[in-house]
Structure 1
Amino acid sequence: MAQLTEAQKDQFWTEGVLVVEDAVTADELAQLRAVINGWIEESRQHTEDYGETLDGRKRFDLEPSHTAQQPALRRVQSPEEVSDVFAHVMRNARTVDLVAELIGPAIRFHHGKVNTKLPGAATKVKFHQDFTFQPMTNDDMITALLFVDDVTLDNGPLEVVPGSHKGPLYSLWHNGVFTGAVADEVHDAHQDRITTCIGKAGSVCLMHASLLHGSAPNLSDGPRTLYITTYYSEDAVELSPNALPSTLTHELVRGEVSGMIRCIAYEMERPEVPKDTSFFAQQENAN
């Protein structure tokens, strides 16, 4: 049975973004929250990034302002590797069917992460395009941002530039440094077109990987947590090292293997694989 209407599909391909409610069940959402709350409590015991991912970097990324009294866990890399709950949602949630309708029928999992903005933390994301971190032979690639909490105008919602996925791929390199962000003048040129993606917990924001986006700090007294999974068309192949490799990378989650490679024409600079825990440090180091 179709998960999306033709109008929703048209909106996605026109604007590069679509918010859909009830992307997970109430039980799945409750289980995700329980695991995340456990990680936040665990983070109180640490003063610096901790845990280890497949490539040797840290799994749990702490905001510089993090303390035991006011935890500021801002990212968990590849949560599917260390939580059966997250692995289940990555493979089986309604989110996956929504993505398959847009870029399938056959799709693979690329990477996953949890981004949290806890009250009082200064976590923000400068504008960028996901695709320029991870070029593929074709751009049928979707970042699915699952709202674990209600996302409001006050708690640091995703900010996007509708239609920008059809435009150029902007450089993340400035003065010889890979900053993980587009130039200020690129952001300023699109300022009047920026919109926010808000919705109730359990909704998902489906975002084309080439869409310009960022987000501001959480100014509310409640958390804003996203479980972010990236999926891509089965006939796409990576053109640079995966910045978030995991044991589940490239897992086929819908459809069948075609044995084909599909290519499109585009040009961009090679991305730099982060040496720190995550791209937050890349953006901070560029300041």
Structure 2
Amino acid sequence: MCPQVSDVKALYDQQGYLTSLPILSPEELQQARDAFADLEKKFGEDYTAYSLHNVHMEYDWVMALAKHPKVLESITAVLGPDVLMLDSRFICKYPETDESDPGLPYVAWHQDMKYWGLDGGPVVSVWLALDDSLEDNGALQVIPGTHCSGLLPHRQAKRSGNMLSVNQEIPEELVEKENALLCPLLAGQMSIHDGLLVHASDPNTSQRRRCGFVIRYVPTVAYPIQDPERPRHFPATALVSGVDKYGHFANQKPEM
């Protein structure tokens, strides 16, 4: 039996995330993996690891993932019926041959809202798994309930290999690692988390790729702000559910 919308929202509001949500059928998953393989061949793995940013504007199959009915079922349960896709990115951790390398790619403990100059509403981040995302290949780790702690201080990461584009991290003394939980996913499943939830992921020490599609959603009532600590432009927003009666992001789009 599928959980009621109110139950989904209550659990999300309590812990700040939901995980192991089934999204893609085997056929849909294979189609997405095949399409992504074409991008790997075109751009190379060094590029596809982190630089496929907002390609939903170029590829219909990517936009279709962002608008997938099962994705939006969970997103609208949390945010309400009127939703904008804010941003998207593919993130891949490829197998590394030298596990002793101290600079293996990882994602430091952080909060997404540190990078998003927004107010007026929450951000929900999605990881839609194209590959199994398990402990040995660097699955998402979260600290439940930390979305209620507000925005924490961030600093420049001291450890090399941080995949975050601005190389920031929450200071170790502020991270309650003893409360961290792993969020393993099978390919085709999805996790979602609040923009203030403290989360991270370790290096991929397996012989398997770990690739996922990251999507950010906001309610249409949210709006961009000018914050020098969180500079951000949003040129790739798209209405994915309901109506946008505010148009807060209309002037952020590039002229076509």
Indicate the TM-score class for this superposition, using the shorter chain for normalisation: 0.7 to 0.9
Q: Please name the residue that 1:157 is paired with.
A: 139
Q: Tell me: higher relative CO, structure 1 or 2? Use CA pairs within 8 A at least 6 residues apart.
A: 2
Question: What letter matches 1:157 in structure 2?
Answer: A
Q: Distance in 2 between matches of 1:244 and 1:146?
A: 23
Q: Please name the residue that 1:23 is paired with.
A: 23
Query: CA 1:260–1:86 in structure 2 vs 1: closer, same or farther (change >3 Å)?
Result: closer
Query: CA 1:105–1:18 in structure 2 vs 1: closer, same or farther (change >3 Å)?
Result: same
Query: CA 1:222–1:236 in structure 2 vs 1: closer, same or farther (change >3 Å)?
Result: same
Q: Among all aligned residue pairs of Structure 1 and Structure 2, give the percentage whose two residues are the same amino acid.
A: 20
Q: 1:80-115: per-residue Cα shift (whole Å, max 9, x none)?
A: 123211011112341122101111110101000000
Q: Distance in 2 between matches of 1:239 and 1:24?
A: 35
Q: 1:181 aligns with which of 148, 156, 169?
A: 169
Q: Please name the residue that 2:214 is paired with.
A: 228
Question: What letter matches 1:106 in structure 2?
Answer: D
Question: What letter matches 1:255 in structure 2?
Answer: G
Quick check: 1:75–1:116 contact (8 Å CA) kept in 2? Answer: no
Q: Please name the residue that 1:70 is paired with.
A: none
Residues 201-212 of structure 1 aligned to structure 2 (within 5 Å)? 201-212=187-198
Note if 1:254 corresponds to 2:236.
no
Quick check: 1:136–1:238 contact (8 Å CA) kept in 2? Answer: yes
Q: Distance in 2 between matches of 1:117 and 1:174?
A: 21
TM-score, scaled relative to structure 1: 0.72
Q: Distance in 2 between matches of 1:221 and 1:179?
A: 26
Structure 2 regions of 5+ residues with no counterpart? 98-103, 158-165, 249-256
Cα offset, 1:3, TM superposition: 6.7
Query: CA 1:36–1:244 in structure 2 vs 1: closer, same or farther (change >3 Å)?
Result: farther
Structure 1 regions of 5+ residues with no counterpart? 50-59, 62-72, 262-287
Quick check: 1:125–1:214 contact (8 Å CA) kept in 2? Answer: yes
Q: Please name the residue that 1:128 is paired with.
A: 110
Query: CA 1:169–1:161 in structure 2 vs 1: closer, same or farther (change >3 Å)?
Result: same
Q: Distance in 2 between matches of 1:132 and 1:152?
A: 26
Q: 1:219-267: per-residue Cα shift (whole Å, max 9, x none)?
A: 1111111101000011010114774644x31x21111224498xxxxxx
Q: 1:90 aligns with which of 66, 90, 93?
A: 66
Quick check: 1:77–1:244 contact (8 Å CA) kept in 2? Answer: no
Cα offset, 1:139, TM superposition: 3.6
Structure 1 segments of 4+ aligned residues over 3 angstroms from their partners:
2-8, 240-246, 258-261
Question: What letter matches 2:239 in structure 1?
Answer: L
TM-score, scaled relative to structure 2: 0.80
Q: Secondary structure at the match of 1:21?
A: strand
Note if 1:119 corresponds to 2:95.
yes
Q: Distance in 1 between matches of 2:7 and 2:189?
A: 18
